Structure 1
Amino acid sequence: MNDEKRFELYEKLYFHEVEAREKISSRLQIPLALLLSITSVYALLVKGVSFENGSFWNLCFGGVFLISLGFFITSLSYFVRSFYGHTYEFIPSALTTENYRNQLIETYSAYSECDELVKRHFNDYLFRYYNECSSANTAVNDKRSEFLHKCNTYLILTALPLATAFLIFTLSGIDKNTIEKEYKVQISKPIELNSHKSPLKINGNFDVTTLEVDFSADLKELLNERKAKTFNATATADTTTKENP
């Protein structure tokens, strides 16, 4: 292979690795969407599960949930490593390259073979950058592709126990929405107790576990009447006893 073909080869390799960089970035969008979706499922399960009973299904749910969470964290770490922390090498800008070419012309302007020398050294300049940059970018893209592959692998492993945990959550009755609840009723307005003989009205409110009652005048009067009747009956009985010893 002559120098011209080698130059074309390294040039193609350089642009191939630059294009692969963009493809890998596009491929990262799919696992990102899956990671966000799985995070939403985790939030739903954690918010809805009830561990009050401590039943066998609670233990099963907690076990598969933790396994899935471990795989999820591993997948997330590989995603971050594939997405961030990589440096690519690029050939100098067009202005820098053109300035170097002008320097070559000034350097070899006194030689009779100026054009040939400028062309040869300029090609060597480009060849060196294509070679070094493509080699460095190949190593970076290979590493990113490996991390992305492991990220997808652990995403699949995450989904299996997560699906099991979701089935346990749905069918075993550990969902908070399916458990019978005790409701606390707070009475904040006056309550009325009606009797067919003598209507009574009680004004009061509940404070924690204590009922504070504000007796109305009708109720007080009724209680006083009952006390008076009881006192009269007791006095009558005592008088009868004295008259008939």
Structure 2
Amino acid sequence: MDKKALFTLYRELYFHEMDVKEKLVARTQISFAIVVTAFSVISYMLRMLDFSSNFYAITFFIIFVSISTLILFASIWFLVQAFSWRHYRGIPSPEEVDQYRTKLIKYNDELHAYNEENPNNHQEIDDVDDVMESYLYDKFKFCSTYNTKVNDGRSGFARDGFKWILSALLPLSFASGIFITTDLDTSSPRKELLIKDANVATQLVQLTKQVELLKSETSKLKKESIMVYAQKVTLPLIASESCNIKSETALPAGEIKNE
């Protein structure tokens, strides 16, 4: 295989590795989406878990959920490594290539002038196209080799992360099976769900206090009215009794005068 064939191979390999880079990003994002979905399922089951249900079912459910959560955290570490490793090498931009070619042409012109002034110390002049081809050959070779190593490392992390995700789905499926079969969901229609509204409860407490206060005030008013009524009834009786006593005491005096 000659140099031109190798140049074509390195160029194709370079663009292939750049395409692999984009595919790795997409693969990692899909894996992250699976992890987020798994955590959403876990958070829902924990939020709706009925702790008054079967003790053994709840225990096994929490064990499987804990195992799945730990494995998912391990998968996140691998996925972060696969997603954050982005140090790639790229070929020079067209502007940089053109500047390099311009420098080569200028350097050859200077060599031509030098050779004309110093024929006894003639310097060899390289062809610009050959130099440019070697320059791009080296760049494609270096970049494709470096990017291949980077993609291999990222692919390994992405593959390990996906393996950990698959491992986490097994205990999660067991936990979901227990959650469904043993009816641990508090929102299940087969259960009587007691809905407690904090605001309503607070208002009921305040209303109860006001009713009790009203009752106490009413009882006080009743007692005061009874006392007033008793006083009104007692005063006429006392006045009549005093009049009777005065009349009884006056009769003997009249009898004495008549005698």
Length-normalised TM-score, structure 1:
0.72
- 8 Å Cα contact 2:85-2:154 kept in structure 1: no
Alpha-carbon shift at residue 27 of structure 1 (Å) = 2.2
Q: How far, CA to CA, are the matches of 1:91 and 1:187 in structure 2?
A: 70
Instruction: Within 5 Å, give how 1:1-245 maps onto structure 2.
Output: 1-51=1-51, 55-109=55-109, 110-111=111-112, 114=125, 117-177=127-187, 205-207=207-209, 213-214=215-216, 216=218, 220=222
Q: Which has the higher strand share?
A: 1
Aligned amino acid, residue 170 of structure 2:
L
- 8 Å Cα contact 1:28-1:148 kept in structure 2: yes
Q: Which has the higher helix share?
A: 2
Aligned amino acid, residue 182 of structure 2:
S
Q: How far, CA to CA, are the matches of 1:2 and 1:58 in structure 2?
A: 70
1:96-135 per-residue CA deviation (whole Å, 9 max, x = no partner) reads 1111111111112244975x52122212211111111111
Alpha-carbon shift at residue 181 of structure 1 (Å) = 6.5
Q: How far, CA to CA, are the matches of 1:171 and 1:19 in structure 2?
A: 46
Q: Which has the larger radius of gyration?
A: 2
Q: How far, CA to CA, are the matches of 2:195 and 2:106 in structure 1?
A: 92
Task: Give the number of aligned pairs.
Answer: 207
Alpha-carbon shift at residue 88 of structure 1 (Å) = 0.4
Change in 2 beyond 3 A, CA 1:80/1:105 = same
Change in 2 beyond 3 A, CA 1:151/1:183 = closer
Q: How far, CA to CA, are the matches of 2:212 and 2:82 in structure 1?
A: 65
Q: How far, CA to CA, are the matches of 2:143 and 2:202 in structure 1?
A: 78
- The list of structure 1 runs, each at least 4 consecutive aligned residues, that deviate by more than 4 angstroms after superposition, is 111-114, 178-189
Identity %: 29
Q: How far, CA to CA, are the matches of 1:64 and 1:187 in structure 2?
A: 39
Q: How far, CA to CA, are the matches of 1:123 and 1:131 in structure 2?
A: 12
Aligned amino acid, residue 143 of structure 1:
G
Partner residue of 2:248?
none
1:38-90 per-residue CA deviation (whole Å, 9 max, x = no partner) reads 12112101211144568111210111011111111111111111111320000
3-state secondary structure, aligned to 2:87: coil
Q: How far, CA to CA, are the matches of 2:155 and 2:47 in structure 1?
A: 36
3-state secondary structure, aligned to 2:216: strand
Unaligned runs of at least 5 residues, structure 2:
116-123, 231-259
Q: How far, CA to CA, are the matches of 1:51 and 1:76 in structure 2?
A: 30
- 8 Å Cα contact 2:65-2:172 kept in structure 1: yes
Higher relative contact order (CA 8 A, sep 6+): 2
Q: How far, CA to CA, are the matches of 2:201 and 2:6 in structure 1?
A: 87
